[in-house]
Every structure is written in C-alpha cells, then in structure tokens.
Amino acid sequence: MPTALDIDRFLQGSGPILDVRSPGEYDRGHIPRAVSFPLFTDEERARVGTCYKQVGREAAVELGFDIAGPKCGEFVRAAKALAPDRHLRVHCWRGGMRSGGLGWILELAGFKVVLLDGGYKAYRRWVRQVLATPKPMVILGGMTGSGKTQILHELAALGEPVLDLEGLAHHRGSSFGALLLPPQPSTEHYENLLVDQWVQYPGDRPIWLEAESRRVGTCRIPDELFAQMEAAPAVEVVRSLDERLDLLVEIYGEASTEELVAATERIRKRLGGDRTPTAVAHIQSGNLRAACAIILDYYDRAYRYDLERRQRVIPQLDITGLSPAESARLLVEKLPRLCPPLAPQVLTQNLQP
C-alpha cells in the first residue's frame, strides 16, 4: 500500500500531485499546481454519497468500485503521461478511500505513490496555521492611481519579497477592479495561492504588500494575515493628480463603455446623485479622463477618511515624475528612514547597479 506522509513531507516530495476529488471540489480550491485527476465525476460522487447515507458503507464501496473499475486503464495511461518517472503524490478530501484506492491501483501498475495524511482537509488546516505565522512586512499605501501595483512588480524585480494581494485575486480592489481581468478564484483557493507565496519568504526581510481592505473583490484576506497587515508599518506614495489620471486612463481605456458605466453605477450611492450621471455622461462621450477625475474625488475622500478613522499617520514619499522602477528603488533606499523599526532587516544590496 502507498505510504502516507504529513503535509510538509508531502509538499516537499517528488512527482506531480494528483487531486482525485471531483471536479467541483477541485474548482472550489486545490493545492497550487495540483492536477485534477478525479476518481468520480460530480454526479458519480453524489450517487456514492447518497448510497452511503441511505444504504450504508459496504454498498457505497461496492458502488464506487462499479463506477471506478472500468476507468482503471484510463487512470494508468493518464498517470504515465503526467509522470514518466513513475513518482506520484495523491490526495483526496480526508486521505481515505478515494486516494487510497487509486494509489493502490497505480502502485499495481508500477508507480511509486505517496498519499497525503489527512488529505486536502489537513492541507487547509496547514494553510491557516502558516498564514498566522508572524513575518516582518511593510504596507505600501497611496491613493487610487498612484501606481502601487506597478511599483510592487518593480520591487519584486529588484529581488524584494512581494505578496501581490490584488494579482492573486485577479482584482484591483475597487468597483472597477475586475475589468479586463480573469475571473476571481474562490476565497478558499485565494488563501491557497497566498500561502504558496508566503512560505517562500524566510522572514529575514520585510515582505511588501499593498494596503487593502478585508476584501479584494469577492476574495477575503484571511483574518490571520489581515491582523498582521493592520499592525505593520506602512509608507504612502504620493503622485500628482495629472499622473494618476494618466495611469487610470491607460489601465481602463480598453474597457467597454458598458463595463465602465456599470462599475460607476455600482458606487452611485457613495458617488452621489449629481456626480454619477455626470461621470456616466463623460464615459459615454469618450471622455474617460473627466469621468476618472469625478470618481477619484470620491475614492480620495474615502482613503483619507479611513486613515483618520484609524488615527494612523503614515510617512509619505513623493514619487511625482518617477517611473515605477525609479519609485521602487527610492522606496528601498528610503525605507530605513521612513520605517525605522524595519531598519535592521532592510537590505539595500539590490540597489547596486
């Protein structure tokens, strides 16, 4: 029978990870880079589950064999294509019959198989534990259109640890945030993606994150991580209004009129009954810059109100006229002065030409 490993040894093992849960379970959330390798379809899984509840375990096991048995040859051929060296890691929901059964079949076919002790359920417990592990971080704040995401990308290019909360969520964090981006992952899978990055940072240098509310679109930042963000030092980048408008027009200029109008209508109550139709009229006439100027006024007031509500003073760095790459280099250079508690952990060797 295949050997069952704890989560740490399983993730560090060799060979593709086969997730044998149903497609629906996989779509809700899975280990990053795991391959969907379902033993049952969603409908077949429901049939087996109903049988277990209504008739009993023995009947459900027999039904499972009836369904999966004819697929065994297909499973082996698919596994060969994925793992030419015959090393595989396999898991199901709880590390029970589905992964054990498929693991046994694959071992009979000559594969070296290891299972995840406790299955995906154990992995999910591990995710929350890891995200609760304290690590030094610095929060990058700034008004909408300041180019924070682009700066984060340049910080990563310099070798700085960066956790891109918006990039992993496929959302820019506002009513317009989903435009021109792929569909968002579930919150469950968002947490999986976050921890996949989180474990790569040893904790000897501060991790850069963008200032966010608890939700990035439909994705919710885990409480364990958000609590660390709230307590972390922060720095605010400042750009001129003209530069911010230029950037927003560049980002959203390819979105359709219908999408832009719908996003504006979603904030009608907060934007105001007079300003909303004016902004919509600008969008419909093709004057996106004028519409953005109206909308920015709302987002700027909301940003300042949030800072005042939390009674938080954040050091500022003026990056007007600087490219994202220049801004990133200046941030790393100035960080020890802007955030003195981080000074011993800040490394500046990446600034060398």
Distance CA 270, CA 297 (A): 11
128 phi-psi bin (left φ>0, alpha ψ -120 to 50, beta other): alpha
Q: Are strands 162-163 and 207-210 parallel, antiparallel or unpaired?
A: parallel
Indicate if 292 belongs to the active site: no
β partners of residue 35: 18
Contact, 142 vs 236, CB < 8 A? yes
Quick one: 8 exposed, middle or buried, by C-beta within 10 A (0-12, 13-18, 19+)? exposed
* CA nearest neighbour of 184 among 196, 166, 170, 164: 170
Q: Rounded to 5, what percent of the chain is helix, strand, coil?
A: 55, 10, 35
Q: Which token pair is 206?
A: 């501060």
Distance CA 139, CA 154 (A): 15
Distance CA 35, CA 324 (A): 36
* CA nearest neighbour of 38 among 78, 88, 1: 78
Q: Select which of 51, 72, 92, 339 is catalytic.
A: 92
283 Cα distance to chain centroid: 31
Q: Which token pair is 40?
A: 């049952």
* CA nearest neighbour of 102 among 72, 77, 81, 70: 72
Contact, 296 vs 144, CB < 8 A? yes
Buried-exposed string 174-190: b where 16+ CB fall within 10 A, e elsewhere? bbbbbbeeeebbebebb
Distance CA 353, CA 331 (A): 16
The DSSP code sequence of 60-73 is: HHHHHHHHHGGGHH
Residues designated catalytic? 92
